[in-house]
Structure 1
Amino acid sequence: MIKSFKFCPNCGHSINNFDFRRMSCNNCDLVYYQNVAAAVAVILKKEDKILFTVRNKEPKKGMLDLAGGFIDPDESAERSCQRELEEELGVTIPLEDFNYFTSQPNNYEYKGIPYKTCDLAFVADFPEKEIILEKEEIAEIKWISINDINLNDIGFDSLKRVVEMYIASLK
């Protein structure tokens, strides 16, 4: 639900017509659709372990996450994976090494504004390179064995489902 808009961004008139996906203004006839934002998450694997990041800011500060983020305009999902790993971990992986795994819907609330996202999950082998953390976003990394992963430690429900599906796919 678009709970953050009380006034039309076009004419400033008070808004009272909105539902799960759209808002409309009776004064100027603007219709604003809350489209889904695309995001990526990368399961970086090494032997029987997955690399998790620990979030250093809200939402879900202090919880486990997978490296990734929002897809920029005019960017492919694979390029977004590559860019996010470069930004967050200082690691470059060739585009062809990202293998699509699954997607999951997510609710991402940032500074009181709810975003509906579609999280595209990819799998890649860790390239055995030095990690240089982007400290503003990531507090630390953790390599966790598949058998020791506690899904409740993962911040976002979409990524809990992704990791759960990934673990099941290995059996």
Structure 2
Amino acid sequence: MYTYEYPRPSVTVDIVVFGYDGGSELKILLIERGGEPYKGHWALPGGFVDMDETLETAALRELEEETGVKDLYVEQLYTYGTPDRDPRGRVISVAYFSLVNLQDHPAVASSDATRAEWFPVNKIPDMAFDHDEIIKMAVNRLAAKVRYQPIGFELLPEEFTLGQLQQLYETVLNVEAFNKRNFRTRILRTGILEEVGRQKNVAHRPAVLYRFNEAAYKQLADQRDGAVLRRALDFEI
């Protein structure tokens, strides 16, 4: 068996899961730690990486074990390695983030957590470890990325109105209101939305329903025509 000359740090994963329910608040899924260190404190879902699994596999496993949420698309955010970030020793954490519709993913504490709850982004409690820093970076990354890539559709129902889409962008970018006509003109011009009908059983005039056209988006991406999406999604703030 090979003996390493230098000590080896442990590796963990932490996951920032953004949730949206169609209102004016973006939320983040947190767990109350059931063990030390920081027992009873709120933290991001996460844990140690096993020797036989990839980082992404570990992130998805920990998320399901602690919150019951599973089968998400996760994207790597950043690596945190400050020597004193974990009182248990030298621990490096690879952070991920994900986007979900709250209606599809209720928070339920699983085996490794006392509680799991959704918290508004602007009402995050005191956090364990350096998780407040991770959340801050994730919020900034989401606000930047939603302006040039249509990742926000992961937060919406499969079928949505343009009003719901505009509300989402205003929430993520933390602005009061975009010009309604300008927003709709620019988003429809991209061709990445597909009209699927109108609302049913509503008291007001039924609005047109749309869904994200992934094929149209992939065609734009394959053509490397990012300028089209950037002009459409990078709204004046």
Q: Which bin holds the TM-score, normalised by the shorter protein?
A: 0.5 to 0.7
Letter in 2 for 1:133: A
1:142 maps to 2:117: yes
Cα distance in 1 for partners of 2:137, 2:69 equals: 25
SS of equivalent residue, structure 2 residue 35: coil
**Could you tell me the TM-score, scaled by structure 1's length?**
0.68
1:38 maps to 2:11: yes
Residue 130 of structure 1: CA displacement?
4.8
Letter in 2 for 1:104: Y
| Counterpart for residue 163 of structure 1 | 135
Cα distance in 1 for partners of 2:105, 2:137 equals: 27
Q: Which has the higher contact order (CA 8 A, sep 6+)?
A: 1
| Counterpart for residue 99 of structure 1 | 75
Q: Which runs of 5+ in 1 are unaligned?
A: 1-29
Instruction: Give every structure 1 segment of 4 or more consecutive aligned residues whose post-TM-superposition deviation is greater than 2 Å.
Output: 30-34, 106-109, 129-135, 167-171
Question: For residues 76-106 of structure 1, what are the alpha-carbon distances to aligned partners after superposition, in whole Å with 9 as ceiling and x for unaligned?
Answer: 1110011112222223225xx1101111125
1:74 aligned to which of 30, 34, 52: 52
Answer whether contact 1:102 1:120 (CA < 8 A) is retained: yes
2:32 aligned to which of 28, 49, 54: 54
SS of equivalent residue, structure 1 residue 124: strand
Answer whether contact 1:37 1:70 (CA < 8 A) is retained: yes
Identical aligned residues as a percent: 26
SS of equivalent residue, structure 1 residue 108: coil
Residue 71 of structure 1: CA displacement?
0.6
Letter in 1 for 2:109: L
Of 85-94 and 64-73, more deviation after overlay is shown by: 85-94
Bigger helix fraction: 2
Letter in 2 for 1:116: R
Distance 1:139 1:59, change over 3 A: same
RMSD: 2.1
Distance 1:142 1:89, change over 3 A: closer
Letter in 2 for 1:167: V
Cα distance in 1 for partners of 2:74, 2:67 equals: 16
Answer whether contact 1:103 1:162 (CA < 8 A) is retained: no
**Could you tell me the TM-score, scaled by structure 2's length?**
0.50
Cα distance in 2 for partners of 1:167, 1:126 equals: 14
Distance 1:89 1:105, change over 3 A: same
Letter in 1 for 2:8: N
